[in-house]
Amino acid sequence: MFIADQFVGSLEVAQTPDKTTTPDNLNFYVDVLRGLSAPQKRISSKYFYDAQGDRIFQQIMACEEYYPFKCELEIFQNHSAELARQLMEGGSDTDLIELGAGDGQKSVYLLQALSRLKACYTYVPIDISGSMVAYLTSHLGSMVPDINVSGLAGEYLPMLQQAARRSANRKAVMMLGSNLGNMLPVDALKFCESIRALLNAGDRFIVGIDLKKSPQQVLAAYNDKQGITRSFNLNLLTRLNRELNADFNLGQFEHFPTYDPESGSCKSYLISLQEQVVRFCLQDRTDCIYFQKYETIFTEISQKYSLAELGKMAKMAGFEVIHNYYDANGWFVDMVWEAKQA
């Protein structure tokens, strides 16, 4: 019999899994309770991406106000040939490892450009969503001739470590969609340092970042008129109800985004509209989370940067910026960083 005992703030979680409980959802349960028991309630944004979350995010990318996807798509449509040549300088076999690959709508332009160059590479899509990795593995062959795909489902750094151990090939790590912006700046720097530690000198890190711009434009992207981002945020509670047997009443929570133009910090919250208790019942245990009226759950950060801030981050993490690619409006940048000698 397996028993896990952990403390979540003042809550002790002791679970004996039955046939419906796995170590993964036990970890999910503990992580969520820990976050909701903190002084500032929070739920990690990585839990947005169940199958329904994936579908809603596809809708977000298509909505009028959400400019980051369109800007980066434009960059890859217009600059993939140049980027492919740059990545293949030297001609040796390369592992192109994409963190947070999603459905590959942007990266497919680069993959097609590499195919036209007859480049020797393996594409390694990594995503927290197993359904996205499965989709890419089964569908890319019809869009990119002779592509070699070797996907991994899981969190970025553990999967990157696994990918790095697979071969001695030169590495090009790619992280698009301003995914680096989903971390607080101090955590983003630590993450980039961790990436550098897994690379050899001369390896590349291609990172897509949303730049600072009009505050109204930024805020609208996370609070669209159709309410798609609202549905995306609230779907997190639906997932907790389904997978962790919680009893969130979605009508008693509201989506609320904020943007600070000075720091570049764009954050999303769920606001409790009344004083209430939410219960989690996994097997024979019930845990209660108390909400005050207007208390917040922090669910996501979408950090915006200046070029100077990004250049400083690259240098501190052990990289050199060797090229920047922009959309026509200069709202978004895809930067190519090269790992420097330690």
pLDDT per position as a tens digit, 108-159 = 999 999 999 999 999 999 998 888 899 999 999 999 988 999 999 999 999 9
pLDDT at 212: 98
Q: Are 304 and 38 in contact (CB under 8 A)?
A: no
Name residues whose C-beta falls within 8 Å of residue 322's C-beta, 6 or more positions apart in sequence: 86, 336, 337, 338
DSSP β-bridge partners for residue 6: 13
pLDDT tens column, 197-228: 999 999 999 999 999 999 999 999 999 999 99
Q: Which helix (H) or strand (E) holds 276?
A: strand 276-282
Name residues whose C-beta falls within 8 Å of residue 113's C-beta, 6 or more positions apart in sequence: 80, 81, 83, 84
Q: How far is 201 from 342, CA to CA, in rounded Å?
A: 8
Closest alpha carbon to 261 in 213, 329, 323? 213
Name residues whose C-beta falls within 8 Å of residue 149's C-beta, 6 or more positions apart in sequence: 122, 123, 124, 125, 136, 137, 140, 141
Q: How far is 60 from 54, CA to CA, in rounded Å?
A: 10
Spelled out in words, what is the top-level CATH class assigned to the domain 67-211+305-339?
alpha beta
Q: Are 272 and 292 in contact (CB under 8 A)?
A: yes
Written as one letter, the residue type at 290 is Y
Residue 175: strand, helix, or coil: strand
| Percent of all residues in the chain with a pLDDT value above 70, rounded to a whole number | 93
Q: How far is 95 from 146, CA to CA, in rounded Å?
A: 15
CA dist 208 → 40, 310, 333 (Å)? 29, 11, 6
For residue 16, what pLDDT band results from cuts at 50, 70 and 90?
very low
pLDDT tens column, 64-114: 999 999 999 999 999 999 999 999 887 789 999 999 998 899 999 999 999
Q: Which two tokens stand for residue 341?
A: 């000698």
Q: Where do the domains of the chain lie?
A: 4-39+218-301, 67-211+305-339
Helices 23-36 and 228-243, interaxial angle, to 10°? 120
Q: How far is 259 from 223, CA to CA, in rounded Å?
A: 11
Query: How high does pLDDT run on average in the chain?
Result: 90
Closest alpha carbon to 177 in 125, 111, 105, 233? 105
Q: How far is 218 from 262, CA to CA, in rounded Å?
A: 13
pLDDT at 128: 85
pTM: 0.86
pLDDT above 60 for 23: no
Residue 168: strand, helix, or coil: coil
Q: Which two tokens stand for residue 109?
A: 């332009």
pLDDT above 60 for 4: no
pLDDT at 89: 84
CA dist 310 → 26, 164, 196, 218, 219 (Å)? 37, 25, 15, 18, 21
pLDDT tens column, 45-66: 989 988 899 899 989 999 999 9
